A = this chain, B = another copy of it.
Amino acid sequence: MATQRLTKQRKAITEALRSQENFKSAQEIHALVNLNGETIGLSTVYRNLTEMFEARDVDMIIGTDGESQYRLCSNGHHHHLTCTNCGLAIEITGEALEVWAKQVGIDNGFTEIAHTLEITGICRACKNT
């Protein structure tokens, strides 16, 4: 169905993502790609990020202002500890949390239980500024 052609645009987007440590908005990714010489349509960036998210190649979070942000992600379920000042994002895993969340759902008669968790704060570097 999805024959997944490897276009230069897709490569450029992946490259831009690889060069970034933390979450960036689609618009920022678009700007980054175009800075590198290529000229890629905004629609294309959105389409690819969405596809990559669905393929679980990138992580997506919705920021406090409702803007979606993306980042290449390691495999497996995890959460983030994000600095609200500089955007530094550290991956967090917590087996206990996973179990607890599922149990809460079950206790209330829910099925197909999923959860999202974001921890935020000010990182050490930003605090000393």
Contact A121 B97, beta carbon cutoff 8 Å:
no
Are A111 and B96 in contact (CB-based, < 8 A)? Answer: no
A83-B110, A111-B127, A127-B111 known; A119 and B104 CB under 8 Å?
yes
> Interface extent on A, as a size class?
35 or more
Beta-carbon contact of A111 and B101 below 8 Å:
no
Q: A3 on the interface (CB 8 Å rule)?
A: no
Distance A108 CA – B25 CA, assembled complex (angstroms): 25
Q: Are A119 and B109 interface neighbours, CB within 8 A?
A: no
| Chain B residue nearest to A93 in the complex (CB) | B104
Chain B residues near A111: list those with CB within 8 A: 121-122, 127
Interface set, chain A 60-117, CB cutoff 8 A to B: 62, 64, 66-68, 81, 83-84, 90, 92, 94, 96-97, 100-101, 104-105, 108-117
Which 9 residue pairs of A and B lie closest in terms of their CB atoms, listed nearest first?
Answer: A110-B121, A109-B124, A66-B66, A113-B121, A115-B119, A117-B117, A112-B122, A105-B121, A111-B122
Write the residues of chain A forming the contact surface with B, with a CB cutoff of 8 angstroms.
Answer: 62, 64, 66-68, 81, 83-84, 90, 92, 94, 96-97, 100-101, 104-105, 108-124, 127
